[in-house]
Amino acid sequence: MHYFLRLHALSQLFDEQLQRWGGSLVSLGLRLFIGWQFFKAGLIKVSDWSVTLSLFRDEYKVPVLPPEVAAVMGAGGELFLPVLLALGLFSRPAALGLLAVNAMAVISYPQLFQFECPAAINDHFYWGVCLLVLLVFGPGKLSVDEFLKAKRT
């Protein structure tokens, strides 16, 4: 038993450093990956605004909001929030905002919701899970949030 306990302690020798810095690297990778996915979508929306407005009028079924307002909010969220997320500035609010954008995309686009596009719905599911991970575990040490937190203390 003593040998087993020593072996177990040895296996956990670098756990704290791995969690601190490895987790921070994983968070950075997630922030950059997810941020890029949403930022690209925002760039596409603003590249041809008339097509975007047409999509929001005819294809997307955004509840409550007029299509023009939904288009501006969607494009704005997809351009602004990913920058915050990538920098690690207001990371949790940015992740929460992108989670709302992601959920609204699934709710508003009937083809996704009805699973006519299985690959697309999977993408939204994976992005949602990644955003939940960032929301729960935070941006990690390699973020502006962490830098500002260190300045406060």
CA 129, distance to chain mean position in Å, is 8
- φ, ψ of residue 32 in degrees (nearest 5): -70, -45
Residue 6 has pLDDT above 90, yes or no: no
- Which among 110, 104, 112 is positioned nearest to 76, based on CA atoms? 104
Between 46 and 18, the higher pLDDT residue: 46
- Say which residues have a Cβ less than 8 Å from residue 76's Cβ, sequence separation at least 6: 42
Residue 112's pLDDT band, with cuts at 50, 70 and 90, is: low
Compute the average pLDDT of residues 130-150: 95
Structure-block tokens of residue 6? 């020593």
CA dist 103 to 12, 42, 82, 90, 99, Å?
38, 16, 16, 20, 6
Residue 120 has pLDDT above 80, yes or no: no
DSSP 28-40: HHHHHHHHHHHHH
The dihedral over CA atoms of 122, 123, 125, 127, expressed in degrees to the nearest 10, equals 160
Q: Mind listing the pLDDT tens digit for each residue in 26-37?
A: 999 999 999 999
The answer to whether the CB of 95 falls within 8 A of the CB of 137 is no
Q: Mind listing the pLDDT tens digit for each residue in 24-65?
A: 999 999 999 999 999 999 999 999 999 999 999 998 888 889
- φ, ψ of residue 88 in degrees (nearest 5): 80, 35
Output the pTM of the full model. 0.86
Residue 117: per-residue pLDDT: 66
Residue 15's pLDDT band, with cuts at 50, 70 and 90, is: confident
